[in-house]
Structure 1
Amino acid sequence: MKRLIGISLMLFGVITYAQTTVQGKVVDESNEPIPGANVVLMGKAEGTTADFDGNFTFNTSEQPPFKLRFTSIGFSDYIADVTSNNQTLTIVLTETSTILDEIVISASRTPERIFESPVSVERFGLKEIKNTTAESFYGGLQNLKGVDINTNSLTFQSINTRGFATFANNRFLQLADGMDNSAPGLNFVLGNLVGMSELEVQSVEILPGASSALYGAGAFNGILFMQSKSPFDFQGISAYAKTGVTSQEAAGVNAYYDFGIRAAHAFSDKLAVKANLSILKGEDWHAVNTTDIDNPSADRTDPNFNGLNIYGDEVSTLLNFDTLAGLPSGTVGSANVSRTGYAESDLVDYGAESVKTDFSVFYRPFADDFEIIYQGRVGRGNTIYQGANRYAVRNFILQQHKIEFRNKNFFLRGYITSENSGDSYDTRFAAINVNRSWKRDAPNPNDPSERSWFGDYAGRYIPTFLGLVQQGTPRDDASVQAHAAARQFADEGRLIPGTPEFQSAFNSVIADGDLSTGAKFIDNTKFRHVNGNYNIAHLIDNWADIQIGGSFREYELNSSGTIFTDIDGPITYNEYGAYAQLQKKFLEERLKFTGSVRYDKNEFFDGFFSPRVALGYTAGEQRNHNFRVSAQQGFRNPTTQDLFIGLNAGAAVLVGSAPDNLDRDIRTFGVSQSGQDLIGQSTVQIVGRAAYENAFSVSSVLAGTPQAINTSLIQPEEITTYEAGYRGQIGKFTIDLSGYYNRYKNFISTVNVLVPLYGEAGDNSLSLLALQNGDRQAYQVYTNSEADIDSWGGSVGVDTKVLGNFDLGVNYTYAEFDFDRERFPDFETNFNTPKHRVKASFGNTELFKNFGFNVNYRWSDSFFWEATFEDGDVPAYTVLDAQINYSVPSIKSIFKAGGSNLLGDEYFQAIGTGLVGSIYYVSWTINP
């Protein structure tokens, strides 16, 4: 930290170099401006971009003569000679099929062409935003090769690259202007729910692979880097308005709208401000799958029915009717019975909403490239998040506030990210506790006269069954009829959705943060982050590009005991890191070497080094072939939930693995009558430590041979990855292909165990009786795999021009992994990635004057989805999106009409979510 502060103070007093200024305009062959065109100083890591009107201003300490390279996707590059200061240039770019000359920053933290990037990188810029067929720029990212988007909700989409991802994708890092966009308590990004407005985005870059060497623990499997527009370069009032409908069989046809406005103004060459507001509203995808989780062939008449999107029916018990009635064993028998549940649609308002605002001040005290920036973002949203349960996220707020100092050679930023869970609640516990608020589950030992649901059920089942059998009804038929009668009797007076009584109970439950009686989750977690980067190339006469940097982060967990074990107050801990990188070109700038190393330390674990080495070689007389290889190591620290969660999710109790967390989670459980006879207690207290040290593996219990299991405490996850690739221009064809191999060590995931409520697991007596009597509690614990996990895959993309001026692109992605499941049957990897994916695009940005169109096709192979909510097969699906657009330069407007999933074949990407239907929209965008 002291070193970072020292660097910033030194840079405050930096000597002003003699400046060379070049300005001008970048246009196409029709003299139309090319927004976002890149301007790069040849041989140096310096550059700028053209604004919406194609205008640019480039400042450098380099003295003429020198050369500038101008590039933009879809156009050939152009090299201009600069011979004097204050020179004005008009650059005409010729349209071509190449996409490799675009400038990216994320791969090496310095401007470089995609063509020469040391690792795989995808870019989505102003042109792609204009031409995307999706209803939003964020949704359009799913058309990039190697990129998947799992749809959790209309307003919550989760990006996945190279596998091992649930909706809580904490192996993927998303940065918005350098700020980690993750929700601090949830530990993952909620898509673009509270991210960046479409009007504000200048470019999006995605690195589909490990990036720990530069970005630390969060960039384990990939990184998304969003860069906003500068108010100096993009000024004026911009706005867009979209309206349309969503269509889903379960939800019907519903209105959808999205609008935004951006205002930016430079008061002088020293001071500029900008502000954004965007609002999206629509009907979320309804989740209505009633398949029985434990018995897919069962229907609602099954006494132990447990529907996938039915909640409250998880509350189940074994009723031994003979014991309850004092009858000989086998007279009536026994059965597992569950309470009657509520459909998700009874518990959730499916109105989806996202409101994003931001305000920024840019100050250049010396009227050069040194800037002081304040940036504040506030997002509020309604969505549905699927984790261990389905959570109705209501009035969720995420705030980020940043102060940054930067110029072309350095940045130093500090920011705070905080979340407020608002009125969010757990739908499963909402159903469970609405049921319990009406009628308790089991008889009250202190008041036997108080009615209970299972007591009423058994009290009606036993005489009904015996009466039917006495009348000659076969036992199986008698059982079916008796169960129906018992449920009807136990449900008499049940709270019915839509009634004032139900609504009153429901409102009370979702406002209660105690999951034994309520469903609300409370989270006001935050983190504070400081990081900096300094490129010292200019100090060594640009002999090589050398960067140094570091970061510090402090977490403050604050859920009032509803998510974390912070019942006594917030939990704080920290982590820090530092890195260095060197890039150097040899052999007439054909061979490029990149070497970097980073050291990170979390206060709970030993420090870890993350090295990366890459070589790239540009071949061919026209320098149109680039070959690259890289090797790197990365790591991922356990998340806040991995360490400190303490949550009863219904199906299991989740207990984090931090050493001082094991004794913080203390819960009370009821004991069966048989258990009470053994231990003389009606309840017992279980400490979280028991889940790690006194438990049985679930698979062994299901197999009938219970085995004790001791689960190791969690350690950081490690990855070693190798990648090779080729990028090239062959005639009209642009080719980009890559392959990778990953080996994971100490892979972080969860294990499900069963804790006996009495006895010691493995004692072969009392603990086994606890299992036999049903006196056990399921826990989910956080640990590392003892076996290595391997994954590998690759992608290839080809882009070209056909039929004269039509753009055609096709890409294919392959992904596979290997894991010894027989040896570790209770370990879930959550690979959750199709083996094969094919994507294609076809369009023309100028079919005729000012008119363009684009069509996107996606096919995804079937795959197995594995997550805490539920596991299962996801079938293959095909999606077709399309849009047409018309530009009206006189009013600086673009009109667009489009639709996603035009084929209308509804699909899902995870077990338990609503089917994704179709969206049809029209939009009007105004840019100055």
Structure 2
Amino acid sequence: MKTILKILMLFCCAYSFAQTTVKGTVKDNNGQPLPGANIIVVGTTTGAISDFDGNFNLSVDQDPPFTIQVSSVGFQTVTQEVTTNPQTIDFIMKEGTELDEVVISASRTPERIFESPVTVERFGLKAIKNTASADFYDGLENLKGVDINTNSLTFKSINTRGFATFANTRFMQLVDGMDNSAPALNFPLGNLLGMTETDIQSVEILPGAASALYGANAFNGILFMRSKSPFDNDGISGYVKRGITSQEAAGNNDYTDLGIRMAHKFSDKFAAKVNFGYLKGTDWAANNITDKDMVGGTRANNLNYDGLNVYGDEVSTNINGVAQLLEGLGLAPPGSSTLVPSVDVSRTGYDEADLTNYNAESIKADWGLYFRPWGDDFEIQYVGKVGSGNTIYQGANRYNIKNFFLQQHKIEVRNDNFFLRGYVTEDKAGDSYDMVFTGININRAWKDDETWFGEYVASYIGATLGGANDAQAHFAGRQAADTGRFLPGTPQFQNAFNNSINDPDLTTGSKFQDNSKIYHADANYNFTHLWDAVELQVGGSYRRYELNSFGTIYTDTDGPIDYSEVGVYTQAQKNLEINENLQLKLTGSIRYDKSELFDGFFSPRLSAGLTVNENHNIRASFQTGFRNPTTQDLYIGLDVGRAILIGGASDNPARDIRNYSLSATGAALLGQSNIDFDGQGAYNNSFLASSVLAFAASGNPADLEIGNSGLVKPEQVTSYEVGYRGKVEGFVIDASAYFNQYQDFLANETVIAPFYGDVQLTQTIPGTATPLALAAIAEGDSQVYQTYTNSDADVNSYGAAIGVSTKIFNGFDISANYTYTKLDFDVLANPDFRTNFNTPEHKFKASFGNTSLFENFGFNVAWRWSDNYFWEASFGDGEVPAFHVLDAQINYRIPSLKSTFKLGATNLLQDEYFTAFGTGLVGSMYYASITINNL
């Protein structure tokens, strides 16, 4: 026994002698400590991370000699041999350029951005720490080719290359591989379920079509956010930002944003982390009283006024028809209807500020457990995410998203060569409500529409008979009809408001209900380590939707709607060395996707990159993309007042059944006072809405055009792109140009379906030559629909972008970029077709800064300018004027406290602007922040 113990002690001693200690510091070429640098023993997974002061301490289970490698994003990698035990090594990292940064998104494998086969924009740790924006997500707006449309303080929509609304279903957002779109909406709510600033490893944006690798929704671009691994970055870090938002409409209001990250590496086999973020402020108030139909700016000069941010005034009617009805019922003097003009009059509405408190709030948390059973790169992960908050969303109407809740749970198995992941995303609408219907139904709570218009017309007639002129009679009519109106701030108003926002029936309330889910699984395997001839990857994905809005958004009154999609893909890459100065990288990809609702699609991509003298890379690519219709494209059935939004899935129109009251003429013709009518009329018996307006003006039936929108099917795009990346005498240049051709473009069409008669005008009123459908339109026995369909119109877009950056005056970073985007579409030939391009033709951005102006002090200034453009969306169409924005920040590092202090301001020049017609003006923000131990 003693002998065995001696032998064991001998082995322990031998093991202890095999421990080699390496310590030192990592600094940049300005002598500043470089935190977060990766130190790794070449050929192993043993490594360490430099701390806030650039220090590291590494214990290695082997004797010298061996080699360690130090790398950090934005710096050239350094290696050095360890020859003694212990050994102290101080590394000086020479700053590289953007071309040296590594990206993963373009090819699903790590590669220098210099060699990427397609355009990629990267926002690394250095850019995140030095952004002049209030947070990293806003800072993405300074990248070339990137648009951020500001819906509200806490909800911003990212897009590239045009065709965007706030419901941006053409752009995908992935967080650690998970699509964080809200299932009910089919698009992400900004960074609600995104990441806290201290946990970000990198952000990449892949503009344009990427269906060959990423599937159906990777149509216009993808945002990739990757978090820090607790194995590589452990410890506690956090930040606090305090300041104010300043807007003319809302005044000055407090702003708070804080986050904390806690990560711990328990051993080489197990690590965990937790993140928490909280933001609270006051949203940008929307108070645009512009008349939507542009007839007049205020109620005073338009009887049928419908203010952009005024709700309840969407309800209107022709008062001559009301007068005829009153006269027919004996409630008005005989012949009095001739005194009433045939004009539309709308009810008096409420300002948006009366229907929301503009509370902007975001609470999010995520946690992860990471297990490496063999202490190498094989890893098993469980990640959970939750997010809740209050924001404003502008879709078909303006919505107060209140206590909205979103959660994700992921299990992933991966190593350097493969991953297999599955996750579920679930949303709950919370206390969200439609502000337009809130205004409408507060009005109806104190006086129904028939009574209001009846009182209006009766008073108009009385005033006219008393000698009043038309304007005076209209004033008297509105004054009488508005008697008893619930005024904001009164108990009656508050009671009606509360009743409306808690009632999901849009005829009486405005509550937004939903509890939808997405189940997703995907996998990828890279065979490169098995086969040197070519880098080969294969992968696939599966997704199942479970829509459950309780009949408030979708046609799911009889239970949840389920459907699924599946896809498989492969990619091959090959590097060819033509000579010592020329290298050619070829990439080919193809993907097949199939939705259970549609035929399958192949999406190929081909690209070539030619590297010349290691400083110049020329790339060209051909790629295709497709977009399956979204959940709303397929199964929406939502009455937004102006129209019913009706999805184009083959089984959807028949599911939207509503009961309507018929006019006296309709009741006489059909022998009934009411009719059940479903959405099939929008797709098989309808007129184009624009043609009905033309017919109303001319009285000529020849002006009518049959609508009959086609049922929806997938949209396709073919994209051609060329680009250049290189370094020329200290200037880093990245330029690209593209041309996109769309087929079966997904969009909306507005049609009007008569309750009786055919749109071919073959059915007539018995004993007359008058078509039944014309009678239905004339009597108001019809329904306006906004259909989801495809257009056979030619839709093309093209554009170009160039970015240039360099260092001047020995350390000052300066960069500038320009983006050109153009829609090629004949609007006049397609008046009923809306592309929702919503993108300025010209954008220019520039930044100037220095991370070490003097010891521990840095600054950054960012300026951007946007050309004017026309915004079109279901809520409203209008011009977005050109605007320019200046953001700035100064920062000071205190190494002894492992902290960075920052003072910053956004929209420093206080020129308020908006990026979408109907939203509040974006004001200024002033803040101070402290970030502690952010590696």
Distance in structure 1 (CA, Å) of the matches to 2:204 and 2:89: 28
* Residue of structure 1 in register with 2:662 after alignment: 671
- For 1:99 and 1:747, the matched residues in 2 are separated by 36
TM-score where L is the length of structure 1:
0.91
**Separation in 2, partners of 1:46, 1:626:** 32
Distance in 1 of aligned mates of 2:587 and 2:69:
23
Q: Aligned ranges for residues 405-416 of structure 1 at < 5 Å? A: 405-416=413-424
Q: Deviations over 1:3-46 (max 9, x none)?
A: xxxxxxxxxxxxxxxxx99998643135544345578999x999
Q: Match for 1:909 among 912, 915, 924?
A: 915
1:827 aligns with 2:833: yes
**1:686 offset after TM fit, Å?**
1.6
Q: How does 1:432-831 map to 2 (within 5 A)?
A: 432-442=440-450, 452-468=451-467, 478-540=469-531, 542-587=532-577, 590-620=583-613, 623-704=614-695, 705-763=703-761, 765-831=771-837
What's the counterpart of residue 360 of structure 2?
352
Partner of 1:283: 282
| C-alpha deviation, 1:250, in angstroms | 0.4
For 2:794 and 2:856, locate their aligned partners in 1 and report how far apart those are by CA, in whole Å.
55
- Please report how far the alpha carbon of residue 731 of structure 1 lies from its aligned counterpart in structure 2 after TM superposition: 1.7
SS at match of 1:433: helix
Q: Shift of the alpha carbon at 1:611?
A: 0.8
Cα offsets for 1:494-541 (capped at 9, x unmatched)? 11111111111111111111111110111100011111111111111x
How far residue 895 of structure 1 moved from its aligned partner, in angstroms, is 0.3
Instruction: Classify 1:740/1:524 alpha carbon distance in 2 versus 1 (closer, same or farther; 3 Å).
Output: same
Provide the secondary structure at the position in 2 that maps to 1:777. Answer: strand
Q: CA offset at residue 70 of structure 1?
A: 4.1
Q: Distance in 2 between matches of 1:249 and 1:59?
A: 61
* Structure 1 alignment gaps of length 5 or more: 1-19, 443-451
Q: Within 5 Å, which residues of 2 pair with 1:107-186?
A: 107-186=106-185
Cα distance, 1:58 vs. partner? Answer: 13
AA paired with 2:591? Answer: R
After superposition, the Cα gap between the structure-2 partners of 1:679 and 1:24, relative to the gap in structure 1 and judged at 3 Å, is: farther
- CA shift, 1:544, in A, is 2.5
Identity %: 58
What is the distance in 1 between the residues matched to 2:119 and 2:270? 37
Q: CA deviation at 1:328?
A: 6.9
**Structure 2: how far apart are the matches of 1:189 and 1:368?**
35
CA contact (8 A) 2:41 2:66 kept: no
Write the letter of the residue equivalent to 1:227.
R
Q: How far has the Cα of 1:576 moved from its partner?
A: 0.7
Q: After TM superposition, give the deviation of residue 99 of structure 1 in Å.
A: 1.2
CA deviation vs aligned residue, 1:843-898 (integer Å, no higher than 9, x gap): 11000000000000000000010111011111100100000000001111000000
Report the AA paired with residue 579 of structure 1: Y
Alignment of 1:218 with 2:217, yes or no, is yes
Asked whether the 8 Å contact 2:603–2:626 carries over to 1, the reply is yes
Look up the match of 1:334: 342
Matching residue of 2:893: 887
Cα distance in 2, alignment partners of residues 397 and 754 from structure 1: 36
TM-fit CA distance, 1:822? 2.8
Indicate the residue corresponding to 1:445 in structure 2: none
Shift of 1:802: 1.6
Asked whether the 8 Å contact 1:97–1:732 carries over to 2, the reply is no
Partners of 1:816 and 1:45 in 2: CA distance: 50
> Shift of residue 97 of structure 1?
6.5
* Pair 1:273–1:131, CA change in 2 (3 A): same
Question: 8 Å contact 1:104–1:114 — kept in the other structure?
Answer: yes
1:895–1:832 Cα change, 3 Å: same
1:212, 1:220 within 8 Å by CA — same for their partners in 2?
yes
Aligned AA (2:257):
D
Report the secondary structure of 1:502's partner residue. helix
Deviation of 1:607 after TM superposition, in Å, equals 0.8
Alpha-carbon distance, 1:66 to partner: 9.6
| Per-residue Cα deviation, 1:113-146 (whole angstroms, up to 9, x for no partner) | 1111111111111111110111111000000011
Secondary structure of the structure 2 residue equivalent to 1:27? strand
* Match status 1:274 vs 2:273: yes
Under a length normalisation based on structure 2, what TM-score does the superposition of the two structures give?
0.91
**SS of aligned partner of 1:626:** strand
Establish whether residue 858 from structure 1 lines up as the match of residue 864 from structure 2: yes
Say if 2:430 is the partner of 1:431. Answer: no
Assess if the C-alpha contact under 8 Å between 1:21 and 1:85 holds in 2. no
Q: Cα deviation per residue 1:820-860 (whole Å; 9 max; x = unaligned)?
A: 22332101001000000000000110000000000000000
Amino acid of the structure 2 residue aligned with 1:798: V
Q: Which of 479-488 and 154-163 deviates more? A: 479-488
Cα deviation code 1:366-399 (max 9, x no counterpart)? 1111111110000001000000000000000110
Q: In structure 1, the residue corresponding to 2:830 is in which secondary structure?
A: coil
Letter in 2 for 1:737: A
Q: Which residue of 2 aligns with 1:448?
A: none
Question: SS at 2:456's partner residue?
Answer: helix
Which residue of structure 2 aligns with residue 312 of structure 1? 312
Looking at structure 2, the residues matched to 679 and 925 of structure 1 have their Cα atoms a distance apart, in angstroms, of 72
Cα distance, 1:917 vs structure 2: 0.4
Larger radius of gyration: 2
1:843 corresponding residue in structure 2: 849
CA distance in 2, matches of 1:26, 1:614: 38
Following superposition, the deviation at residue 674 of structure 1 comes to 4.1
In structure 2, C-alpha distance between the alignment counterparts of 1:312 and 1:557, rounded to whole Å:
29
Distance in 2 between the 1:730 and 1:24 partners?
35
Task: Report the Cα offset of residue 80 of structure 1.
Answer: 3.4
Preserved contact between residue 639 and residue 645 of structure 2 (Cα < 8 Å): yes
SS in 1 for 2:798: strand
State the SS of the aligned residue for 1:714: coil
Q: Distance in 1 between matches of 2:185 and 2:288?
A: 26
Paired AA for residue 147 in structure 2:
D
How far apart, in 2, do the equivalents of 1:398 and 1:171 lie?
Answer: 21
User: How far apart in 2 are the matches of 1:842 and 1:818?
Assistant: 35
Worse-superposed segment, 178-187 or 79-88: 79-88
For residue 91 of structure 1, report the CA deviation from its aligned partner: 7.4
CA RMSD of aligned residues (A): 2.6
Inter-partner Cα distance in structure 1 for 2:793 and 2:574:
38
Q: Distance in 2 between matches of 1:927 and 1:843?
A: 22
Give 1:669 deviation, angstroms: 2.2
Q: Given the superposition, is the C-alpha separation of residues 86 and 177 from structure 1 closer, same or farther in structure 2, using an over 3 Å criterion?
A: farther
Query: Which residue of structure 2 aligns with residue 422 of structure 1?
Result: 430
Aligned equivalents of 1:47, 1:584: Cα separation in 2:
30
